[in-house]
Amino acid sequence: MNIPAVSVNDLPDDAVILDVREQDEWDAGHAPGAVHIPLAELPSRLDELPETDEATLAVVCRGGGRSSRAVAWLSQQGFDVANLDGGMKAWQGAGKQLVAESGAATVK
């Protein structure tokens, strides 16, 4: 299956994205417009998927593996989604904003 992808450079800093990482990864640092639903909880939390101004919802994890699985599954459910190339590591590498409840944000 071909997994649709979107480049970090194609997303605005305040883009609404779905973050499927684990809680500790989310707590360490995430995109300001992200919605957190861990991959394992996705099937039971579909009603929490964010609405976006863009046609396609970007999905992210740390490096792209879990989010590509999420995109494949969500696509099969009829959602318009794309994997964020390179994950949160690429987001941070592109100098995009990170936020964390603890103050000092990093990609874990």
pLDDT at residue 1 is higher than 70: no
Percent of the chain whose predicted confidence (pLDDT) is above 90 = 81
Percent of the chain whose predicted confidence (pLDDT) is above 70 = 97
Fold classification of 5-93 (topology level): Oxidized Rhodanese; domain 1 (3.40.250)
Residue 68 parent element (H or E): helix 65-76
Tens-place pLDDT, residues 27-72: 999 999 999 999 999 999 999 998 877 689 999 999 999 999 999 9
**Domain ranges, ordered by start, for the chain:** 5-93
Report which residue type is found at 62: R
Q: Which among 11, 19, 15, 10 is positioned nearest to 64, based on CA atoms? A: 19
Choosing from 60, 61, 81, 84, which is the catalytic residue?
A: 61
**61 labelled catalytic:** yes
